[in-house]
Structure 1
């Protein structure tokens, strides 16, 4: 048996999960090959450390308690909201939404200016469109 094949079967050898004939072949290879024997010993040490660190403190009644709690919550029905609340909540939301849209349109409209009263409009909104009065290039050139 070569080292590559022995390495493939080594984990099964350490766990003693190989057939008897293959176990004997790996055992013979480990007697003849010192590096493979050293590797097998390191693997045994590592597996023993892992096995020692395993914690198996399972609570045997955990599943039973979880199942009982799920059945209790499934048995309880969620309290139904009153009919008035179920109807008024969407209506109130719709009214508030429509008021917001209407207010947005009103804010976005430009003020109407009477053609005959242009002087009064200029007094009311003196800086509404200042860029038309003096372009930025003229201001920077001075």
Structure 2
């Protein structure tokens, strides 16, 4: 067996996931080749370090500490705001909102415009209707 093939199967060999025939071939190659045996030893040490890092230490008092914190939070209920503040805050917000809307309408109006000036009379619209005859596409679509 070549070194390249052994390297590709080495992790499965160390995890003992290869079939018996391949396990014997890899073991035979590792007995004969010192470089692959050294590489296998390093790989085995690396896998052992990774396995030891996977194990997490469970703290037996974690649940009791969390439970104590939750009970402490339940005891320390937030102080409710006075009734006057709870009522005045939405009222003040509504008044400010209405003033903003009113101000927006006032800013949108032009100072010289009146209702009569803003509407076009029929006589002023006649020239626009006459221009439609000059544009054949619009007249075609309008018919």
The match for 2:136 is none
TM-score scaled to structure 1, two decimals? 0.51
Deviation, structure 1 residue 37:
1.4
1:12 aligns with 2:18: no
Once superposed, what is the RMSD of the aligned Cα atoms? Answer: 4.0
Higher RCO, Cα 8 Å, sep 6+: 1
Aligned-partner Cα distance in 2 for 1:31–1:6: 15
The match for 1:43 is 43
TM-score scaled to structure 2, two decimals? 0.51
SS in 1 for 2:69: helix
Report how many residues are paired.
Answer: 108
Deviation, structure 1 residue 34:
3.8
Q: Which runs of 5+ in 1 are unaligned?
A: 115-142
- Per-residue CA deviation, residues 76-103 of structure 1 (Å, 9 max, x unaligned), is 3332222222221111101001101111
Deviation, structure 1 residue 5:
7.1
Cα–Cα, structure 1 residues 5 and 106, in superposed 2: closer, same or farther, change >3 Å?
Answer: closer
Cα–Cα, structure 1 residues 48 and 9, in superposed 2: closer, same or farther, change >3 Å?
Answer: closer
Aligned-partner Cα distance in 1 for 2:82–2:98: 25
